[in-house]
Amino acid sequence: MFSKKYAEIDIEIKRILANAITPSPKKVEEILKKSKSRKISLEEIAELLKTNEQETEKQFNLIKNFVYSEFRKEKNILKSIAPIYLSSHCIDTCRYCNYSAKRKDVKRTRLNLLDLEEELNEVISIGNKVIEFTLATDSTFTPKKLVEYIAKTKTKLHGEKGSGILLCSDYFSELDYQLLKDAGLWGMIQWDETLNKNKYQRWHTCSPRKSNFKERINNHDRALQAGLEVATGFLFGLSEFKYDTLMQIAKARYLEKEYGVKPFVFGTPRIKTIARKKLHLKNEVTNNEYEIALMAYKIAEPQIARWLQTRETPELNLRNMVDGDMYTYACGEVKPGGYKVNKERINSYEGGQFRVIEMTKKQFEQELRKRNFQVDYSWIKK
């Protein structure tokens, strides 16, 4: 379990960051050249992460141009994921989330199976074949209940090649994940929020479920032990971004060593406005910091995709995307029923989890064509 390695890795990452120095352009070129033939070290990644300041613009551009040249092809493919929110009810109290149990002005909803069918009809009708169930910490959605929702979705997908179901939810046991896998679940998604234990506890101490740091950080182990694919990542803004970027790369390498399987994607969520309220964060992450982290992920682990999504502007996503990345261009305004059932009845400020910027399918595909990209809506291999 990752918790058994956590203290050792945490100490190593903090030591690396304390000793990391801003690299010269020549040193950046050396590290980038090495990355083409071997897995670069955490120390080398830490140096790349220090090229986000104004005085290191040359180094930043060297890295950006390297990522473009190495990971963009003549024809590029993005993999689409369509999130469907099942519930906005939550027992946890995360201050950065509009679904926090302490927020009394949220219009909370749950999708029943008939609601889910309407949402699926809408999402699948425009070509989506990879569906992500997303929900807050809602005790109503037990594994047994989720089995019903997976079964309904499997029926709607008709077993089409490349189709599949993902789940982003509360953490479960290995047996629960085995039950969900047997029902047809392909992968588990969990953002660790932050792997800085002190910062994590500061944000989550009052949350009945999320306060359990150990259970959270072991969740990827349990899902892999049950035979699921996994997605990992952190929430930019809760802690120092260099620390969490390195920790996620170290965790991905731990999972590969332990189970012989890499995470299929690094999540890239960044804290955004909730219900028209901008959060003022001590660890607010600039665009440059965010983008250097995206580039570090790709250079450190070329086979792991990055998940670009609607928290960010299309402009930022489009300039960072490379072949093989995953992309969500619309998400039902991050609210249950956002595609159809509650599209007009509940606005995004009253019922959405955070601020998003969506595109239509037509806009999305037009922008991709301009850049020699196309989208794959059915990419899961079984």
Q: Is 9 inside a domain boundary?
A: no
pLDDT at 54: 67
Quickly count: other Cβ atoms within 10 Å of residue 74's Cβ: 6
Q: Is 90 inside a domain boundary?
A: yes
User: Which residue range(s) make up the domain with 273?
Assistant: 77-376
- Based on its alpha-carbon atoms, the radius of gyration of the chain, rounded to whole angstroms, reads 20
Angle at 369 between CA 364 and CA 371, to 5 degrees: 105
Distance separating alpha carbons of residues 202 and 222, to the nearest angstrom: 25
343-352 pLDDT per residue, tens: 988 888 889 9
353-365 pLDDT per residue, tens: 999 999 999 999 9
Say yes or no to pLDDT of 139 above 80.
yes
Distance separating alpha carbons of residues 10 and 267, to the nearest angstrom: 20
Q: Is 49 inside a domain boundary?
A: no
Q: Which residue has the higher pLDDT, 55 or 20?
A: 20
Q: What does the mean pLDDT of the chain come to? A: 95
Query: What is the DSSP annotation of 321-370?
Result: --TT-EE-S--GGGSTTTTTTTTTTS-HHHH-SS------HHHHHHHHHH
Q: Is 365 inside a domain boundary?
A: yes
pLDDT at 226: 98
* Of 251, 271, 275, residue with least CA distance to 262: 251
Q: Is 317 inside a domain boundary?
A: yes
Query: What is the DSSP annotation of 125-180?
Result: HTT--EEEEEE-S-TT--HHHHHHHHHHHHHHHTT-TT-EEEEE-S---HHHHHHH
> How many domains in the chain?
1
Q: Is 54 inside a domain boundary?
A: no
CATH number for the domain spanning 302: value is 3.20.20.70
pLDDT at 294: 98
SS3 assignment, position 60: helix
Q: Is 330 inside a domain boundary?
A: yes
* Of 244, 184, 249, 193, residue with least CA distance to 219: 193
* Of 308, 103, 305, 92, residue with least CA distance to 215: 92
Provide CB contacts within 8 A for 292, sequence distance 6+.
48, 49, 51, 52, 60, 63
